[in-house]
Each structure stands twice: as structure tokens, then as C-alpha cells.
Amino acid sequence: MSKKYSLQQIREVWINAYLNGEVDWLSYLEAPSFFVKKNAELISKADQIAYVERSRTKFPNKRARDVEFRETVKEMQEHKNWATVSGSASFRRNGEIVSQCEFFELWLIVEDRWQIASLCIEDTDRAGER
């Protein structure tokens, strides 16, 4: 199988799609069974995309440029048909951290291309609540 785009390139497009509310790209880049596990909450692909659409409609002038996203990838392991990515991320508005978390992603080769299968997020300010 030849992968036209690297995992890093696809991740960048996926992150930008989320930050900019581009639900068509999210639908394309997320596997059919995609889910988000955010702390104790389990969010389906359909629910995540609906949330992004509602946010985009409710706040049409809010864009990624309003929020600074920073991430540190601690580990990326790529295998023949799957890959994992883990690290930490933060969102800042006006220089102030408004959210920070640790994350773990599972990526799969689906339909001859990289698609994200799951995203697990744990807010770092909740780490002591385990």
C-alpha cells in the first residue's frame, strides 16, 4: 500500500479541521467508528460533529485565530496498518491557558488512507480526581 500523505500531514489537517469547524473534513478523516473519550464522557463521531456544527453556527465569527493551540507529541509509533500518538495540549486565549489536557490517539489505515479511530483526552486539572 502506498500512503499518499504521511500521518503527520493527515494529523495536521484533522487538527485544523477541528479548530476551524470544517465538519466535511472531520467526517472524511475520522473512521466510521470514531469516538472521543473525554475524562468520563464518551462522545460518538455523530455527536462530536453535531457539537462542532452547533458551535460554528452559534459563533460564526470565532475561528482558530482567536485561540492559540499548542501541543507536545511525546510519542508517535507508526506500524503497517495502525499508529498511536500521545502527548499534551493546551488552548490559550489572550495569552491565558483556558484548557490543557493529555491525549492519546489511535490511527488506522481505512480505505487505503489514515483515519483517526479514537481520541482519549484527560484534562490535566482533573488528573488528581482519578
Q: What is the mean pLDDT of the chain?
A: 89
Q: Is the pLDDT of residue 35 over 80?
A: yes
How far apart CA 34 and CA 36 sit, in angstroms, is 7
Q: Is the pLDDT of residue 126 over 70?
A: no
Q: What is the pTM of this model?
A: 0.86
pLDDT one-digit tens code per residue, 64-95: 567 889 999 999 999 999 999 999 999 998 88
Q: Is the pLDDT of residue 28 over 70?
A: yes
Question: CA dist 37 to 27, 42, 68, 106, 118, Å?
Answer: 18, 5, 23, 12, 8
Domains contained in the chain, CATH given:
7-129 (3.10.450.50)
pLDDT of residue 94: 84
